[in-house]
């Protein structure tokens, strides 16, 4: 083999003869396969620099403890696996390092799989300094995983995983055969970069086990990893097996929790959860038996319910494997939560989850909030929890008895810059381990962790005059983040759809009132990677085609695996009535808005919906937008609804959508015969509703259907004139916060 290699690559070797001693340089998959087939202990197979397109690699080899076989790269940071590339690893005593997967996605279920097939697994194998960056299937809800661990004694360390935006766990430990249990895997010093909100179950960053094998031991160690804004779903980590350890990990502004979903005897020790006041950031969620939560730190975590800073769940009596086992023998000791909003005890208590925690203790913790009153919410009987020597910053919650004291807790900055108690109730100092992950000591040292996304309004201003297609032409040449400024009060017309595939703003220059007309079925088409802001412009539908189904803004008709933002401020929408079902905003299935915000705007004579966010109708807890904000708007003569927001199904993996509706005026809404909802505003399965200080005249009613969890519902100070009362229905009884509406 080496003889052949010399013949083929003699010239290359002459140029870079270091490689003769450093390994077997291969430049295509055939050469790689030959090298692997002939590999003996101590060999090093080196991928040549450059782009490897559609490289489907099987690295099956058998090294020894003293002489492992290594798959590496010519130069770290210069070998890219793209297109439909993926890697299977099988055998023993192997090392894989330096690979970068980008610009594509795996055609299989796993980008890097620690198996060849169900019988041929990897053992004593190390994956180190590898990168998987935005290597996501374009079909948002097509499922795959980036790394799947099988076998035993494997290690994943100093890898960089960023931007998984389709469904499926980023890093998964499988226990599906005997050979993969009691595995002693070690997952350490990895950088888990930003993962966007999936708006669905299946967005976990790390999962160990499944409910099916959850009562077997995994014995996996997860240590000193940095989780940076891992927001896929509310389980950042889903622990689903026994005897795993999570220690010294840092969770930076992650929307979700480390969840002990299934399995027992987990140790959660010395982790830091830094929320910094960001919405819905969470900490640790305890379910099942013999869970130990010690020495952890939380700061500025705002999450509520299952996303609390610390959550002890209620269980299901005689629970099946896939539901909720009762919390028993939990030990929560020496944790410090500073300025964290919610500690949730007996969370999820309902008719099914009726088994409160038993034989558990909460000792020597600090739950100190500098501003808020009590941080505890108690949903059921806490007599099975023994509280001892805990400090809280406000009056102790009486339901917790004498073990929770109100105390002024002096704080100081520790060496990480975290605000920690000067001392714990025990009198000891609170210290985080030197092994705590920081961004700099995780991931591949040669691969940048800088954010790549370019936000709205971060670019240059492009001023355009009125006229035909000036808007279109400017959008075409604009760079991401640019602002297209309409400089005149005249008419801007376009006869082509403006594709928005980057962050773009269109706004009126100061003091002018431009009007935009369009001749195609839609004016703006938000494509994958696009975000849009509109400011100070009048959009007139007069020139739109005389057919049904027009819109001013629509999403791609195809799957978008990147979330978008849409902001509309101080705009007017008129004459959207050339034909029926003319919407302002139209979305399609498999698209997801992080934020859709409309402020200070007017809508008049619209035959369709202002926004119908109702295209995910499979009732699996999926929906089209996380935050929907309507403030200071006026809606007049809208044929269908001003807003339809739909989330069907009883899945509890997400907490949206969130709706804020404030100071809006609705008149003559919903009377078109094609408005099958019978509503002016339809909210189905919306989990947080705040609708306040608004008026409805001569309109169909607000209809609300509550589907899952404990939705937060506030309808306050709504004036209804010639409009039926608010309808609230639900699949089971709910606690509605408040409904005050006056019928005039
Ligand atoms: Ca989940």
Mean pLDDT score of the chain, rounded to an integer? Answer: 94
CATH number at residue 24: 2.160.20.10
- 111 and 192, same domain (yes or no): yes
Flag whether 233 is in a domain.
Answer: no
Q: What is the pLDDT of residue 743?
A: 67
Q: What percentage of the chain reaches a pLDDT higher than 90?
A: 88
Do 507 and 535 meet the contact criterion of CB atoms below 8 Å apart? yes
- 622 and 713, same domain (yes or no): yes
Q: What is the pLDDT of residue 8?
A: 43
How much distance in Å is there from the Cα of 207 to the middle of ligand 1? 9
On the question of pLDDT at 739 being above 90, the answer is: no
- 151 and 266, same domain (yes or no): no
On the question of pLDDT at 115 being above 90, the answer is: yes
How much distance in Å is there from the Cα of 171 to the middle of ligand 1? 13
How much distance in Å is there from the Cα of 255 to the middle of ligand 1? 13
How much distance in Å is there from the Cα of 497 to the middle of ligand 1? 38
Rounded Cα gap, residues 629 and 234, in angstroms: 22
Question: For the segment 47-102, what is each residue's pLDDT rounded down to a tens digit?
Answer: 999 999 999 999 999 999 999 999 999 999 999 999 999 999 999 999 999 999 99
How much distance in Å is there from the Cα of 258 to the middle of ligand 1? 11
Question: For the segment 120-150, what is each residue's pLDDT rounded down to a tens digit?
Answer: 999 999 999 999 999 999 999 999 999 999 9
How much distance in Å is there from the Cα of 558 to the middle of ligand 1? 25
Rounded Cα gap, residues 703 and 742, in angstroms: 16
How much distance in Å is there from the Cα of 655 to the middle of ligand 1? 12
Q: What percentage of the chain reaches a pLDDT higher than 70?
A: 95
Q: Which two tokens stand for residue 81?
A: 């696996």
How much distance in Å is there from the Cα of 239 to the middle of ligand 1? 10
Q: What is the pLDDT of residue 7?
A: 42
How much distance in Å is there from the Cα of 704 to the middle of ligand 1? 26
E-assigned strands of 455-582? 461-464, 467-468, 483-486, 491-494, 498-500, 503-508, 515-518, 522-526, 531-535, 538-540, 551-555, 564-569, 572-576
User: Which of 64, 103, 71 lies closest to 87, judged by CA?
Assistant: 71
With bands split at pLDDT 50, 70 and 90, how would you rate the model's confidence at 735? low
How much distance in Å is there from the Cα of 413 to the middle of ligand 1? 34
How much distance in Å is there from the Cα of 411 to the middle of ligand 1? 35
Q: Which two tokens stand for residue 217?
A: 């031991």
On the question of pLDDT at 731 being above 90, the answer is: no
Rounded Cα gap, residues 196 and 562, in angstroms: 8
Question: For the segment 336-387, what is each residue's pLDDT rounded down to a tens digit?
Answer: 999 999 999 999 998 899 999 999 999 999 999 988 888 999 999 999 999 9
Last residue of a domain, one of 228, 258, 286: 228
Q: Nearest 5°: CA angle at 92, between 88 and 97?
A: 55
If one compares 585 and 9, the residue with the highest pLDDT of the two is 585
Total domains, the chain: 3
Q: What is the pLDDT of residue 736?
A: 61
Angle, helices 29-37 vs 2-15, to 10°: value is 130
The CA-to-CA distance between both ends of the chain, in Å, stands at 89
- 185 and 275, same domain (yes or no): no
On the question of pLDDT at 434 being above 50, the answer is: yes
How much distance in Å is there from the Cα of 206 to the middle of ligand 1? 10
Q: What is the pLDDT of residue 539?
A: 98
Last residue of a domain, one of 168, 198, 228: 228
Mean pLDDT (whole number) for 36-50? 97
How much distance in Å is there from the Cα of 740 to the middle of ligand 1? 36
Question: For the segment 671-709, what is each residue's pLDDT rounded down to a tens digit?
Answer: 999 999 999 999 999 999 999 999 999 999 999 998 877
Last residue of a domain, one of 436, 471, 499: 436
On the question of pLDDT at 155 being above 70, the answer is: yes
Flag whether 398 is in a domain.
Answer: yes
Flag whether 580 is in a domain.
Answer: yes
- 147 and 42, same domain (yes or no): yes
Flag whether 459 is in a domain.
Answer: no
Q: What is the pLDDT of residue 78?
A: 98
Rounded to whole angstroms, what are the CA distances from 372 to 282, 368, 392, 481, 696?
Answer: 17, 9, 10, 38, 35
How much distance in Å is there from the Cα of 306 to the middle of ligand 1? 12
Do 103 and 137 meet the contact criterion of CB atoms below 8 Å apart? no
| Counts for the chain of helices (H) and strands (E), in that order | 4, 71
529 lies in which domain range? Answer: 508-740
Quote the distance between the C-alpha of residue 412 and its chain's center.
Answer: 32
- 536 and 682, same domain (yes or no): yes
Q: What is the pLDDT of residue 139?
A: 97
Q: Which two tokens stand for residue 29?
A: 């998959």
Rounded Cα gap, residues 16 and 177, in angstroms: 45
With bands split at pLDDT 50, 70 and 90, how would you rate the model's confidence at 393? confident
If one counts every other C-beta atom within 10 angstroms of the C-beta of residue 118, the result is 10
How much distance in Å is there from the Cα of 203 to the middle of ligand 1? 7
- 606 and 530, same domain (yes or no): yes
With bands split at pLDDT 50, 70 and 90, how would you rate the model's confidence at 732? low
Q: Which two tokens stand for residue 709?
A: 């969890």
How much distance in Å is there from the Cα of 698 to the middle of ligand 1? 43
- 525 and 599, same domain (yes or no): yes
How much distance in Å is there from the Cα of 118 to the middle of ligand 1? 25
How much distance in Å is there from the Cα of 234 to the middle of ligand 1? 7
- 167 and 288, same domain (yes or no): no
- 645 and 729, same domain (yes or no): yes
Rounded Cα gap, residues 451 and 447, in angstroms: 12
Question: For the segment 247-281, what is each residue's pLDDT rounded down to a tens digit?
Answer: 999 999 999 999 999 999 999 999 999 999 999 99
How much distance in Å is there from the Cα of 493 to the middle of ligand 1? 47
How much distance in Å is there from the Cα of 589 to the middle of ligand 1? 21
- 183 and 276, same domain (yes or no): no
Instruction: Quote the pTM value.
Output: 0.94
With bands split at pLDDT 50, 70 and 90, how would you rate the model's confidence at 395? low
How much distance in Å is there from the Cα of 204 to the middle of ligand 1? 6
How much distance in Å is there from the Cα of 238 to the middle of ligand 1? 7
Q: Which residues pair with 630 in a beta bridge?
A: 598, 661
- Give the CA radius of gyration of the chain: 28
How much distance in Å is there from the Cα of 194 to the middle of ligand 1? 17
Do 547 and 521 meet the contact criterion of CB atoms below 8 Å apart? yes
How much distance in Å is there from the Cα of 201 to the middle of ligand 1? 5
What b/e readout covers 476-501, taking b as 16+ CB neighbours within 10 angstroms? eebebbbbbbbbbeeebbbeebbbbb
Q: What is the pLDDT of residue 269?
A: 98
How much distance in Å is there from the Cα of 653 to the middle of ligand 1? 5
Flag whether 14 is in a domain.
Answer: yes
On the question of pLDDT at 733 being above 60, the answer is: no
- 269 and 206, same domain (yes or no): no
Flag whether 487 is in a domain.
Answer: no
Q: Which residues, other chains included, contact 143 with Cβ-Cβ below 8 Å and sequence gap of 6+?
A: 109, 166, 167, 168, 202
How much distance in Å is there from the Cα of 284 to the middle of ligand 1? 14
How much distance in Å is there from the Cα of 155 to the middle of ligand 1? 24
Flag whether 449 is in a domain.
Answer: no
On the question of pLDDT at 21 being above 70, the answer is: no
Do 504 and 482 meet the contact criterion of CB atoms below 8 Å apart? yes
Flag whether 238 is in a domain.
Answer: no
Rounded to whole angstroms, what are the CA distances from 601 to 572, 576, 635?
Answer: 6, 15, 9
Question: For the segment 618-652, what is each residue's pLDDT rounded down to a tens digit?
Answer: 999 999 999 999 999 999 999 999 999 999 988 88
Q: Is the peptide bond before 657 cis (omega within 30 degrees of 0)?
A: yes
Rounded Cα gap, residues 74 and 79, in angstroms: 7
């Amino acid at each position: 083999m080496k003889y052949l290699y010399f013949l083929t690559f003699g010239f290359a070797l002459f140029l870079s003869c270091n490689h003769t001693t450093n390994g077997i340089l291969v430049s295509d998959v055939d050469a790689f396969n030959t090298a692997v087939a002939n590999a003996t202990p101590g060999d090093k197979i080196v991928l040549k620099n450059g782009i490897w397109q559609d490289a489907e690699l099987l690295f099956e080899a058998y090294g020894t403890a003293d002489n492992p076989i290594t798959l590496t790269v010519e130069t770290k940071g210069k070998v890219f696996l793209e297109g439909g590339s993926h890697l299977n690893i099988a055998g023993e005593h192997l090392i894989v390092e330096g690979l970068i997967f980008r610009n594509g996605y795996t055609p299989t279920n796993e980008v890097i799989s620690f198996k060849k097939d169900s019988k041929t697994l990897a053992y004593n194998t190390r994956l180190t300094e590898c990168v998987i960056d935005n290597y996501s299937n374009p079909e948002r809800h097509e499922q795959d995983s980036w790394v799947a661990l099988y076998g035993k004694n494997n290690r994943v360390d100093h890898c960089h995983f960023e931007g998984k935006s389709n469904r499926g766990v980023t890093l998964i430990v499988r226990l599906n055969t005997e050979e993969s249990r009691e595995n002693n895997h070690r997952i350490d010093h990895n950088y888990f970069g930003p993962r966007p909100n999936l708006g669905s179950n299946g967005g976990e960053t790390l999962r160990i086990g499944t409910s099916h094998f959850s009562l077997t031991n995994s014995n996996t160690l997860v240590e000193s990893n940095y989780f940076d804004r891992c927001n896929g779903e509310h389980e950042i980590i889903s622990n689903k097996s026994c005897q795993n350890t999570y220690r010294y990990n840092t969770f930076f502004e992650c929307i979700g929790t480390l969840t002990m979903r299934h399995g027992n005897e987990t140790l959660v020790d010395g982790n830091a959860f830094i929320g910094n006041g960001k919405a819905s950031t969470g900490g640790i969620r305890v379910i099942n038996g013999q869970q130990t939560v010690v020495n952890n730190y939380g700061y500025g975590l705002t999450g509520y319910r299952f996303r609390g800073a610390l959550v002890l769940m209620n269980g299901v009596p005689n629970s099946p494997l896939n539901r909720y086992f009762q919390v028993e023998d939990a030990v929560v000791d020496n944790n410090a939560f500073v300025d964290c909003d919610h500690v949730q005890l007996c969370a999820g208590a309902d008719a099914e989850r009726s088994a409160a925690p038993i034989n558990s203790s909460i000792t020597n913790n600090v739950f100190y909030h500098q501003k808020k009153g009590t941080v505890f919410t108690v949903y059921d009987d806490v007599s099975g929890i023994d509280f001892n020597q805990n400090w809280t910053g406000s009056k102790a919650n009486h339901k917790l008895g004498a073990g929770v004291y109100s105390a002024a807790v002096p704080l100081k900055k520790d060496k990480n810059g975290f605000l920690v108690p000067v001392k714990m109730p025990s009198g000891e100092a609170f210290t985080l381990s030197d092994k705590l992950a920081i961004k700099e000591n995780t991931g591949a040292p040669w691969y940048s962790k800088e954010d790549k996304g370019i936000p709205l309004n971060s670019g240059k201003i492009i001023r355009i005059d009125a006229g035909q297609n000036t808007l279109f032409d400017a959008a075409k040449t604009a760079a991401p983040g640019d602002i297209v400024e309409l400089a005149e009060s005249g008419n801007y017309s376009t006869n082509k759809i403006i594709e928005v595939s980057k962050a773009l703003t269109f706004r009126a220059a100061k003091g002018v009132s431009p009007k935009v007309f369009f001749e195609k079925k839609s004016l703006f088409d938000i494509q994958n990677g696009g975000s849009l802001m509109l400011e100070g412009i009048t959009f007139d539908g007069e020139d739109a085609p005389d057919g049904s189904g027009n819109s001013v803004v629509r999403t791609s008709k195809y799957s978008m695996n990147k979330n978008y933002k849409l902001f509309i401020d101080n705009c007017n929408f008129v004459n959207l009535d050339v034909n029926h079902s003319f919407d302002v905003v139209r979305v399609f299935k498999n698209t997801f808005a992080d934020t859709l915000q409309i402020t200070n705007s007017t809508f008049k004579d619209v035959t369709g919906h202002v926004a119908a966010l109702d295209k995910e109708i499979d009732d699996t807890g999926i929906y089209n937008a996380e935050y929907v904000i309507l403030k200071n708007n006026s809606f007049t003569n809208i044929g269908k609804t001003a807003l339809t927001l739909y989330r069907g199904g009883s899945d509890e993996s997400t907490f949206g959508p969130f709706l804020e509706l404030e100071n809006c005026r609705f008149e003559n809404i919903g009377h078109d015969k094609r408005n099958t909802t019978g509503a002016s505003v339809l909210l189905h399965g919306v989990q947080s509703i705040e609708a306040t200080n608004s008026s409805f005249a001569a309109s169909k009613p607000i209809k609300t259907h509550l589907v899952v969890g404990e939705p937060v519902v506030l309808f306050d100070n709504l004036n209804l004139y010639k409009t039926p009362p608010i309808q609230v229905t639900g699949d089971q009884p709910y606690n509605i916060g408040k409904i005050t509406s006056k019928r005039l």
